[in-house]
Amino acid sequence: MRTRNTVKEELVKQKAIELIVKDGLENFSVNKLAKACGISVATLYIYYKDKDDLIVKVAVEGARQMSAEVLKGFDPDASFEEGLRQQWRNRSRHMMENPMAAQLFELLRGSTYHDEVYKVIVGDFTKSLGAFMENAIKRGEIDPLPMEVYWSVAFAPMYNLVRFHNEGKSIGGRRFTLTEELLWQTFDLVLKALKK
């Protein structure tokens, strides 16, 4: 009888994300994953029922980790500036330390797996961020805004900088590295735009 092995499970998750990002969801196969991990296909089918099950479980685990890291040290009752700064810190760090996971979520966004994976990060995640925004409005720190507008202004600039950083280049192929200085310079501009 074959048994579970947690060390290999971690390797499997990491390699699966790498392969999906490299080959796309369609071309990803359990066989390729087994080869990349140096284990048998049969072993993978003990952990996972089929290819779909594998993709969903790996992505859900990744989404859970991301939610936990993004909410780490975040207080929905904090002042708008302090809370947003914490969010920028957590999100940029997570995306720069896990560039593959970030790309995986981009891929999943347009796929049939989207709903199953994203219901995991609803819950605590949106509750806490929604409360944060409402608190800031109640205290008169920001104007009431549609969630989408708030979200885009608050986070899109940071996501874009991290994307440039992860690709190593910006507009026109210019080499780019995101420094603390650039990140917080951009943050100040965003704060100016949102804060009353």
Partner 1 sequence: MNNILVFKTNIQSEEDLLVIERLLTGMEVDDWNVDRKDIDCVLRIVSNTVTECQISSLVTEAGFFCEELL
- Judged by the rule CB under 8 A, the positions of this chain that interact with partner 1 are 1-3, 29-31, 40-42, 45-46, 49-52
CA distance 69 to 93: 9
Nearer to partner 1, 35 or 195 (CB): 35
CA distance 48 to 29: 13
Minimum distance from residue 23 beta carbon to partner 1 (Å): 12
Minimum distance from residue 114 beta carbon to partner 1 (Å): 16
CA distance 91 to 101: 12
Nearer to partner 1, 41 or 147 (CB): 41
Single out the residue of 139, 157, 147, 148 nearest to residue 193, CA to CA.
157
Nearer to partner 1, 55 or 129 (CB): 55
Contacts of 122 (CB under 8 A, 6+ apart): none
Nearer to partner 1, 26 or 115 (CB): 26
Minimum distance from residue 28 beta carbon to partner 1 (Å): 9
CA distance 125 to 62: 14
Minimum distance from residue 17 beta carbon to partner 1 (Å): 17
Nearer to partner 1, 40 or 152 (CB): 40
Single out the residue of 9, 8, 11, 32 nearest to residue 20, CA to CA.
32
Phi, psi of 3 (to 5 degrees): -120, 165
Minimum distance from residue 13 beta carbon to partner 1 (Å): 18
Nearer to partner 1, 115 or 181 (CB): 115
Residue 52 neighbours by CB distance under 10 Å? 13
Minimum distance from residue 126 beta carbon to partner 1 (Å): 30
